[in-house]
Amino acid sequence: MSKRHLLGLIGITLAVSVAFPASASARQSIAAASPTAMTCDVAPRSLSEIMTLADSAPDDAAPVLPLPAGVRAGAETTAAIETVLAEMGACLTAGEMLRFYALHSDAWLRRFAGSIEGLTTLTTSTPPLADGDRAVYLGPWHVQFLPDGRVLAAVLLRVGNEIRPDPQRTRVLLFVQRDERWLVDETIEQVRLAECDVPVDVAAVVGPPPGALFDSWSASCE
């Protein structure tokens, strides 16, 4: 799979963006991804299971809400989320979408199925990344325990050897624990701010990954 193909796929799998201008300092620094080596070994979901979940997909898009507030998560929880992100990246790199979906909850898959067309083709026809490129999640940062028991974490997906990944790929993921395993339960792209009449990109609220200098990341109501 080409980098362009995966970037298109990313636009879908990050659940479905206002562009941010690049700065010189942004090009000079980018946070390191997790050093953990990971392979895509999670047991895959079945295609029939995915299709069953798609049949119960919601008709309406979820409303844009304020970013949930929680308390800072500890090192053990952060490390567990980091491990899930590493395996998600490995599965995207390998084109193993049924295994990628296994790292997501039923609720996430229902919403995902309701947001796209051609789910079967996407699931069965995604080849591995070509030319030794890898998909790697930078982060997590802004990791918090929420009152409902889920964990919130900001992430940014980097593909290949990008010096400055596109800030538009920043998402907040909400993780839920199932059978002693953390799964992505919700993806947040935009949030509401009290002072803004329109939603803003979540990237402008959670900021860049630690160690990355993106001085253009600021909340804007425009």
Instruction: Identify the structural domains of the chain with CATH numbers, from first to last.
Output: 3-16+21-206 (3.10.450)
* Phi, psi (degrees; rounded to nearest 5) at 187: -120, 130
Q: Tell me, yes or no, if the pTM score tops 0.95.
A: no
Query: How far is Cα 217 from Cα 165, in angstroms, rounded to an integer?
Result: 13
Beta strands in 73-169 (DSSP E): 135-145, 151-159
Note the pLDDT tens digit of each residue in 48-89.
998 888 888 777 778 899 999 999 999 999 999 999 999 999
70 token code pair: 């929680």
Is residue 219 very low, low, confident or very high in pLDDT (cuts 50, 70, 90)? low
Beta strands in the chain (DSSP E): 71-72, 135-145, 151-159, 170-178, 181-188, 190-191, 200-201
